[in-house]
Amino acid sequence: MTQGPPRILIFDSGVGGVTVAREIWNLLPGSETIYVCDNGFFPYGVKPEDELIARVTSVLCSVAAGCEPDIVVVACNTASTVALPSLRERILVPVVGVVPAIKPAAALSKTRAIGLLGTPGTVRRAYTQDLIDRFASDYTIVRVGSADLVLMAEEKFAGRDLDPRRLAAALGPLFEPGGSPAVDVVVLACTHFPLLRADLAAIAPANIAWIDSGAAIARRIGELLGGERGRISPSKPLSKIFLATDLDAISPAQHGALRREGFSEIRAALS
């Protein structure tokens, strides 16, 4: 346990975890953030499960040993749906994962048809199927696994304009005309996708609810930090550090976007 403000280690393959970090900063201003971006192994969504588990465990264990966080957030559905048991065996502080928001989607859907938009890995995981079996077994689930949407989210974050036709192509059968029943709720089951929420809403039918797990994860972290919240001082400048496993691959545009996000240091992880 650190002595100053709570230190939160946030992990993703790219900048998707920033969507979770924003929710944490909203709820717990004054906590310290160390963000680890495993861009050296990006993208995760198309990698075999055993390789992912080994990689995520090795990177996170090394970084956690060096920075002694109070809590670790795996801000990546693709990693969380396979690597949490291995991480929890090895990391002694709480490890919180981000997994598809199937349960709240089922509570919200009136048509009982839910779109599941994730990486190719996440939409076919046993973990995801188990969530569907538990919370939405009698719903129609339209699964779309897209690696291109992840790339588009990275581009958007770095300030590039998106081609709506490319975006629409990535949505595949999600809103196919005549799809019966029609999808009325879409789970953004990849932390990159909230970066595209406005672009997605602009090309989708009106009145679709887009839901992600970010705010719920921030609340969970607040609960787990419990008594430690007294150590959060809103008047103190936040420390937000961004560590990349391949620092050379971070472009000047990404550097600028990360600075605007409030990261004061951008450094190599595992150096």
CB 39 within 8 A of CB 249: yes
Place of tokens 């009106």: 206
Binding of residue 217 to ligand DGL (CB under 6 A)? no
Q: Which stretch binds ligand DGL (CB under 6 A): 21-29, 36-44, 170-178, 248-256?
A: 36-44
The edge-to-edge listing of strands for the beta sheet with 209-211 is 140-145, 113-118, 185-188, 209-211
Catalytic residue among 37, 61, 67, 190: 190
- Cis omega before residue 43 (within 30°)? yes
67 is catalytic: no
Task: Give the interface segment with ligand DGL, choosing from 10-18, 49-57, 167-175, 222-230 (CB under 6 A).
Answer: 10-18
Is the CB of 105 or the CB of 232 nearer to ligand DGL?
105
Hey, how many other C-beta atoms are within 10 angstroms of the C-beta on 19? 25
Q: Is the CB of 6 or the CB of 14 nearer to ligand DGL? A: 14
7 phi/psi in degrees, rounded to 5: -105, 120
Question: Site mask, ligand DGL, residues 64-83, x = CB under 6 A?
Answer: ------------xxx-----
Collect all residues with Cβ–Cβ distance below 8 Å to 98 and sequence separation of at least 6.
20, 73, 74, 75, 76, 77, 80, 191, 213, 214, 217
Catalytic annotation present for 76 = yes
Q: How far is CA 137 from the centre of its chain?
A: 24
Q: Which of 5, 6, 16, 69 binds ligand DGL (CB under 6 A)?
A: 16
CB of 221 to ligand DGL, least distance (A): 17
- The shares of helix, strand and coil residues in the chain, as percent rounded to the nearest 5, are 45, 15, 35
Least distance between ligand DGL and beta carbon 209 (Å): 19
Chain positions 86 to 105 lying near ligand DGL, rule: CB under 6 A, are: none
Residues 150-169 contacting ligand DGL, CB under 6 A: 150
Smallest distance, ligand DGL to C-beta of residue 16, A: 3
CA angle 205, 209, 211 (to 5 degrees): 135
Task: Write each residue from 110 to 129 as x if it is in contact with ligand DGL (CB under 6 A), else as -, in one continuous string.
Answer: ---------x--x-------
Task: Write phi, then psi, for 34 (nearest 5 degrees).
Answer: -120, 115
Q: Which is nearer to ligand DGL, 12 or 184 (CB)?
A: 12
Among 190, 195, 200, 232, binds ligand DGL (CB under 6 A): 190
Q: Distance between CA 174 and CA 248 in Å, rounded?
A: 37
8 Å CB contact between 37 and 17: yes
| Nearest CB to ligand DGL, comparing residues 13 and 254 | 13
43 binds ligand DGL (CB under 6 A): yes
Active centre residues (catalytic): 76, 190
Q: Which residues bind ligand DGL (CB under 6 A)?
A: 12-14, 16, 42-45, 76-78, 119, 122, 150, 190-192
